[in-house]
Amino acid sequence: MTNNAIVWIREDLRIEHNSALSFASQNHKKVSALYIYNNKNFDKKREAQKWWLSKSLEAFEIDLKKFNISLEIIEGDEIEILSKIKKNDDVTIYWSKVYEPDIIAKGKKIRDIFIKNQINYKYFKGNILNEFQDITKNDGTPFKVFTPFWKSAELKYLNQVPSKISQIKKLDKSFTFFKSTIEAKEILPNKNWFKKFEKYWRPSEIEAKIKLDELIKDKINNYGEARDIPGVNGTSKLSPYLKFGQIHVESIWNKCSSLAKKAKGYRKYINELGWREFSHSLINYFPQMLQGNLRKEFDNFPWVKNDKFLKKWKQGKTGYPIVDAGMRELYETGWMHNRVRMIVASFLVKHLRIHWMEGEKYFKNCLVDYNEASNVAQWQWVAGCGADAAPYFRIFNPTIQGIKFDPEGTYTKKWVPELKNMPNKFLHKPWELEKEIQEEIKITIGKNYPEPIVVHEQARASALEAFKRIKKN
């Protein structure tokens, strides 16, 4: 056993329930935490997450110092940097797994280098309940349908011996192996768009624990109903903390499971964790879905390239209030209510017939909780081209969705304030309001709020006709 340890931090920015940090501190005299910032992983594709990462690293560094563990942030390629560790450096390197195909492939290359250079290393299960390769059908093939997958996965997890993870040990001295080449604040996006995020989020482990406590205390009992109502604070908002590993999914599971017989919303929330597991399984067994349709018949779908409509969708200027509210919430906060995510996604791929990958790419840039597995799987679910997908011919009517899930306009009027005086009867179909009344309440459809860019009935018919064409082929 070497005297010193390096813990390679990736999506595990936490002290509690951190196997790699815990093991290193318990078995070595000195420990250093290393975060490698590879700008190629972010570029201009994940701007919102640059903000979250920057703030998270600042908070994590403070937490680590309490244990005399330094955090070094180095910019560059993971393979190039970790290749600098030599046999006589007297260090062992630890890390937790991340479940994305490209990252797994890079991890294998790094392990091969360590083996060649005779570097001691050890890795641990990542932020997931089950290793995806452990959940298969009886014939060894992967699941493509959620319900049997989750039934098998949940049973597998329940039958496991609960993991016992020691607390991180406070060390006598700090230790630095690499020297930081970049500060956390230098990771921030160039444009000031992100500054407003601070009104809505505090990226840290302690805030993740607060969110979990709020879920258990105030939300989980009514979660089954409240999670679909965007105008109430009914969702956990734990997703970005899960993405960056500021809380472990097992911690959430354990807290929620203690309420299994008390909270009627328990099952609904646990199923959400199941969809996260299912998505990770899908992209690892079917990595081709990261570049295209899982269902290949959709490769012949007649998508429409319409930059004008795509821009209006991004800006929240489609003329459909619930869609516009969602897109504006996304740009303002870096997050969007899950029910509304489905509505805006359906509108893009079915009403506008714009390729789902355009929406996925925009979400990647704007979401603080962007998760490759979940985002790609959910977009393909809505588009009808993924696993266990909603049928393409199931087309959300945005007007009916708004009336059903935001009847009083609490959510819509917050994010589309130009409609704040609109009578609720017409809020989700403002184009039907008589012009005389529009003048009275100082709203002119087509002037200070757009007319619908497409007519629902016509767009629906066009989408169904397009779907018939690929069925014939």
Pick the catalytic residue from 303, 306, 418, 431.
303
Taking the domains of the chain in order of start, what are their residue ranges? 4-126, 127-161+204-285, 296-472
Q: Exposed, middle or buried: residue 418 (CB in 10 Å: 0-12, 13-18, 19+)?
A: middle
Options 356, 360, 372, 397, the catalytic residue: 356
User: Of residues 272, 284, 306, 431, which has the active-site annotation?
Assistant: 272
Span 127-161+204-285: which CATH code? 1.25.40.80
The C-alpha atoms of residue 198 and residue 51 are separated, in whole angstroms, by 10
pLDDT-derived band of residue 152, with 50, 70 and 90 as boundaries?
A: very high
The DSSP output letter for 35 is E
Chain-wide mean pLDDT for the chain?
A: 94
Residues found in the chain: 473
Residue bearing tokens 């979250």: 52
Tokens read off for 71? 């955090």
CATH superfamily name and code, 4-126: HUPs (3.40.50.620)
Global confidence as pTM: 0.96
SS3 4: strand
User: What is the distance between the terminal CA atoms of the chain, rounded to a whole angstrom?
Assistant: 62
pLDDT at 262 > cutoff 70 = no
State the pLDDT at residue 261: 63
Q: Are strands 120-124 and 70-75 parallel, antiparallel or unpaired?
A: unpaired
**pLDDT score at 144:** 95
Residue 100 has pLDDT above 80, yes or no: yes
Q: Is 356 a catalytic residue?
A: yes
- Kindly report, residue by residue over 357-379, the tens digit of the pLDDT: 999 999 999 999 999 999 999 99
What residues have CB less than 8 Å from 145, skipping those under 6 apart?
Answer: 387, 388
Residue 258, pLDDT score = 79
> Is 338 among the catalytic positions?
yes
Average pLDDT over residues 31-39: 97
Catalytic residue among 379, 381, 397, 415: 379
Cα distance between residue 267 and residue 368, in whole Å: 26
Measured torsion, CA atoms of residues 238, 244, 247, 253, in degrees rounded to the nearest 10? 60
Residue with tokens 């017939």: 353
Q: How many CB atoms lie within 10 A of CB 60?
A: 25
pLDDT in tens, 46-81: 999 999 999 999 999 999 999 999 999 999 999 999
CATH architecture group of domain 296-472: Orthogonal Bundle (1.10)
Identify whether the C-beta of residue 235 lies closer than 8 Å to the C-beta of residue 269.
Answer: no
Query: How far apart are alpha carbons 163 and 9 in whole angstroms?
Result: 20
Backbone phi, psi, residue 94, to 5°:
-125, 150
Told to judge if 193 belongs to the known catalytic residues of this protein, a careful annotator would answer no
Catalytic residue among 52, 201, 275, 381: 275
State mean pLDDT over 123-131: 96
Give the strand pairing for 91-96 and 120-124.
Answer: parallel
Q: What is the pLDDT of residues 363-419, one digit of tens each?
A: 999 999 999 999 999 999 999 999 987 787 889 999 999 999 999 999 999 999 999
The 3-state DSSP class for residue 388 equals: coil
pLDDT of residue 122: 98
pLDDT bucket at 473, cuts 50 / 70 / 90: low
Contact residues for 409 (Cβ-Cβ < 8 A; gap 6+): 231, 419, 422, 424, 427
Q: Note the pLDDT of residue 164.
A: 74
253 vs 161, residue with greater confidence: 253
166 confidence band (pLDDT: 50, 70, 90)? confident
Specify the pLDDT at position 163.
Answer: 72
- The owner of tokens 């098998």 is 152
The pair of three-digit structure tokens given for residue 354, joined into one six-digit string: 């714009």
Same fold, 127-161+204-285 and 296-472: no
Q: Is the pLDDT of residue 43 over 80?
A: no
Active-site residue, selected from the candidate residues 117, 222, 338, 365: 338
